[in-house]
Amino acid sequence: MDDRELAQKAIAGDDEAFLAVMQLHKKDLLRTALAFLKNEYEALEALQEVTYRAYKKRRTVKEPAYIKTWLIRIMINYCQDQLKKNKRFISQDRVADTAVTDDFSRLELQEALAILSPEEQQLIYLKYFQDVKIKDLARQEQIPEGTVKSRLHKTLRTLRKHFDDKGGSDHGRTGRSKTQ
């Protein structure tokens, strides 16, 4: 049975197929939760909650081919809700903790992503961290591909401006600096 057939069975109400789908995408879901929550315990809790939410709503999935994207979106929404609830996007304590182990570029990227709206973060995450194609994003959002490209372009421009304001010459724009 291929992934699409498995997803179709899960959507139709087959519990074993649903568990198999969750097992299939577990690593991606955990990676997503860790990227947003920065805490292994909270990420595991998020996986449990997302499994429950997905189980309850599984019959609402219209296209079995996009079940992974659907699951990732549930995870992102859950993580963003948790971050809002705790009134912390990236708390200063966590930044300090991760600074010891993570490299500086990763911290800069996290800081830059934190300035984006939740919708923009989701778009960037799905496109560049989960490799979802533009046509799939467009179908998922039920908007034209041109709109997705436009939103991506605008969001990337926001990120570029953020990096430029922070001294952009370290981010692929060599030869330019704020002093020129």
Q: Of the residues 48, 72, 94, which one is the last residue of a structural domain?
A: 94
**Is 178 domain-assigned?**
no
- State the residue for tokens 């939103």: 151
Q: Looking at the structure, do residues 146 and 120 belong to the same domain, yes or no?
A: yes
Q: Looking at the structure, do residues 53 and 132 belong to the same domain, yes or no?
A: no
Q: Looking at the structure, do residues 146 and 89 belong to the same domain, yes or no?
A: no
Structural domain count of the chain? 2
Q: Of the residues 75, 94, 113, which one is the last residue of a structural domain?
A: 94
Its domain, for residue 142, covers: 102-170
Closest CA to 11 of 50, 70, 48, 64: 64
What pLDDT, in 10s, does the model give residues 58-95?
999 988 988 998 999 899 899 888 888 876 545 555 55
What pLDDT, in 10s, does the model give residues 97-109?
554 445 666 677 7
What pLDDT, in 10s, does the model give residues 148-169?
999 999 999 998 888 888 775 4
Is-contact 77 125, C-beta < 8 A? no
